[in-house]
Structure 1
Amino acid sequence: MRALLADGPDLIGRVRSLADPMKATPTDKAPGGRSSATEPPAPIDADLIDALAVLEKLEPWWHVPLSDYSNDLEVMTWLGEVVLDRHPEVEGLREGWSVADAMAKWGAERRTDVFIYPDDEGHDQPEAVPVREWYDPLLTLQQAAKRAKVSQRQVQRWVQKEAVTVVAQHRGPRGSVMKYVHASAVDAAAEEMRGNQSRSQFTQLREELS
């Protein structure tokens, strides 16, 4: 359940993009717009509409610690139904939708990424395929600061200096804008910062000794 909720923002962005490819999604780099009013809208798959109705109810829960509700039978029962329960398709119809159903059908994928997957023998094989954020997860700025063991202000400075690129934005249920960066970019910026600090300390020590 934690894994499905953690993938929630990417999943709902994926489903929204399928329902309306011209609409901005959490994995867009910049906002987009709808198609011209002179063109009739394309029909939307009923499955997408039904799945979105469930996913949008869960938006306030994407980042909620489940441990806070582990003893709340009502909440956990509801979450189990809307997150974990599977509803097999019978003759093209489903009796309901859950996060697990949507993940199985569409996935929280980034269709344009190319990632090198290590094979079983340790050789790298480049392959252009849909990639979920398993190997290089998306982090909020707060999560990035925790990962790099720096302040959130430091992460914001990396973003301003373009040492770290914001690759996704998502407006939370209270209107706040959540910015996402790749973990690999955070690791690289932190390593460079610590390398600069070490060189600075060495230079200062050398000057003091001389």
Structure 2
Amino acid sequence: MRSSWAFRDRTEAGQALAERLQEMSLTNPVVLALPRGGVPVGYEVARALAAPLDVILVRKIGAPGHEEFGIGAVVDGAAPQTVIDEAAAQMAGATPDYIQRKVAEELALIERRRTAYRTGPPVSVTGRTAILVDDGIATGNTAQVALQALAGTSPTRVVLAVPVAPRDTLTRLGAMCDDIVCLAVPDPFHAVGAHYRDFGQTSDAEVIRLLQLARDDMASATRP
């Protein structure tokens, strides 16, 4: 891990992350990216590892009146899972009714994104090495709920791979996965975007394009 690192953009960050992951013994890997910013990073990792790329659909739960301040996260599925930072929620004045309403709203958005993003059937992680990728981690709430969701899908190994994150968050998440690969661990940590020269928003169109490109790559690799 490095204490500081400025990435040109998510593509460069993904390529650097892929180099580190290639040094590991990863059996039958599948890359699961957190949309939207994690997808360009995940695409570079998947391409380097010749692995399938899919998304894991998680949404942040924002504080009342301050949506950018995350107090938790939610992931959909047969049994939707929610992680709430109780201390942060109480400090922000988020009532149980507010949280329940926000969870329902975010699950509805997840479903719309699932319909838009899905370029084929979901990739199974059962019996495989699941690599969870994002463009960086701050509070870790989104990564935490994603790791909880992965635990129920029977992977043989779970790797959390990100370009940048604070040390305390990595320590907390370490108990939820088998390995962590993180290239930059700044101290003090201010924001993920501070470590990118280009941290522009990733569009839905770009997510769809990269997911389809990844599927095309895998089809070409398996074609006789």
Question: TM-score range with shorter-chain normalisation?
Answer: under 0.3
Question: Relative contact order (C-alpha < 8 Å, sep 6+): which is higher?
Answer: 2
Larger radius of gyration: 1
Query: TM-score, structure 2 length as denominator?
Result: 0.23
TM-score after normalising by structure 1: 0.24
